[in-house]
Amino acid sequence: MLERLNIVPFVSVDNMMKLVLATGVERFLTDLAAYIEEDFRRWELFDKTPRIASHSSDGVIELMPTSDGVTYGFKYVNGHPKNTRSGRQTVTAFGVLADVGNGYPMLLTEMTILTALRTAAMSAVAAKYLAPKGARTMAMIGNGAQSEFQAIAFKAILGIDKLRLYDIDPSATARCQKNLAGLGFEVEVCTSSQQAVEGAEIVTTVTADKQYATILTDNMVGPGIHINAIGGDCPGKTELHRDILLRSDIFVEYPPQTRIEGEIQQLDPNHPVIELWQVIAGKVPGRSGERQITLFDSVGFAIEDFSALRYVRDRLKETGLYEELDLLADPDEPRDLYGMILRAAKVAPAVQQSEVLQ
């Protein structure tokens, strides 16, 4: 069969949902976690750069590129906390995987759903190495779009089955609780962050607010807990009181990016942090004591998206859940790009050449 060089597989939102449903959310998250761990173990061979951000007073638009030398990937993602008021998502995304050898895209996919899945899988991978052994209770502060994914990943990968939910908007908590019904969680709805963290071994903060917020104050954080801080991911947008950071061992994805965007933007630029890949690769220990406070200062890094893109690409053949997108101009003679337009005008003679070429 002739290779059709113009065609790029495209995974729409509809097909992504079908892929998630056909796979099962828990298996999808577990598979994705394995891809992330595999890429974190070969961290050193990736091209790495802090993501390229374009800020405005309303939010941020970011490009997140990386490559393992064989395959290149990038994600376009935005973060606009006010969006939910106009019926839009806070975070939307799409991504591309390309062949480093010839630069041709190999996959274009929606990544709004995929980002929620990869963020949750990443959090659970970090917690696997950092949370207290046998943890079963997680507080989740912020019950928006990311929240159910986080809960399900922590159940699938760590066995978390007790959730303590809090959101400033009770309708968000009610929706989260409803969506998680029947999945084996014991859910307690709380009326404050303070109440939510009581008795929790893991605390996930996943709120959206474009400001220095204080979702957790120092007195709420007892010894031995693991904090999975997701929502502080932009300059001027944090969730934890600085004093918590000073008492914690801080684990990060890529320090040059996290120092700009993470909770640690509140600290001295030389404050010691541990790179999570080194823990996953067995080079440095994760949790090392019962009273240790571990903090995963998550901002989301390009390699996680690369893993997610790789996973989706690997599932395409078996599932067929994609469309063929006529994305790349492919003239018969590669240098005859203009001639391709002229030939197209002959195929459609009713259209005036001047109109075609306008």
Ligand X SMILES: NC(=O)c1ccc[n+]([C@@H]2O[C@H](COP(=O)([O-])OP(=O)(O)OC[C@H]3O[C@@H](n4cnc5c(N)ncnc54)[C@H](O)[C@@H]3O)[C@@H](O)[C@H]2O)c1
Residue positions annotated with a catalytic role: 233
Q: By CB under 6 A, is residue 231 in contact with ligand X? A: yes
Q: How far is the CB of 230 from ligand X (least distance, A)?
A: 4
Q: Which of 38, 99, 169, 324 binds ligand X (CB under 6 A)?
A: 169
Among 32, 180, 299, 309, binds ligand X (CB under 6 A): 299
Phi-psi label, residue 205: left if phi above 0, alpha if psi -120 to 50, beta otherwise: beta
Cβ neighbours for 116, distance < 8 A, ≥ 6 positions apart? 91, 145, 146, 149
* 242, 229 contact by CB (below 8 A): no
Q: Does 257 bind ligand X (CB under 6 A)?
A: no
- Rounded to an integer, what distance in angstroms lies between the CA atom of residue 56 and that of residue 65? 21
Stretch that binds ligand X, among 5-13, 106-114, 124-132, 230-238 (CB under 6 A): 230-238
CB atoms within 10 A of CB 58: 12
With a CB cutoff of 8 Å and minimum separation 6, the contacts of 115 are: 75, 77, 91, 93, 300, 305, 308
Q: Which of 26, 68, 161, 209 binds ligand X (CB under 6 A)?
A: 209
8 Å CB contact between 277 and 41: yes
Q: Using the rule CB under 6 A, is 142 a contact of ligand X?
A: yes
- Interface region with ligand X, contact rule CB under 6 A, candidates 23-31, 182-190, 204-212, 322-330: 204-212
Nearest residue to ligand X, scored by beta-carbon proximity? 144
Shortest gap between Cβ of 162 and ligand X (angstroms)?
19
The dihedral sign for the CA sequence 219, 223, 228, 234 = positive
Check residue 112 for interaction with ligand X (CB under 6 A). Answer: no
Smallest distance, ligand X to C-beta of residue 354, A: 47
Using the rule CB under 6 A, give the single segment among 49-57, 66-74, 144-152, 319-327 that binds ligand X: 144-152
Measure CA 350 to chain center: 48
Count the neighbouring beta carbons within 10 Å of the beta carbon of residue 32: 26
The answer to whether residue 300 forms part of the interface with ligand X (CB under 6 A) is yes
How far apart, in whole angstroms, are the C-alpha atoms of residue 24 and residue 311? 14
Of the candidate spans 5-13, 203-211, 285-293, 310-318, the one that interacts with ligand X by CB under 6 A turns out to be 203-211
Looking at 298, 302, 311, 312, which residue binds ligand X (CB under 6 A)? 298
d(CA 129, CA 112): 27
Under the rule (CB under 6 A), what is the footprint of ligand X? 79, 84, 90-91, 115, 119, 141-146, 166-169, 172, 206-209, 213, 215, 230-231, 233, 298-300
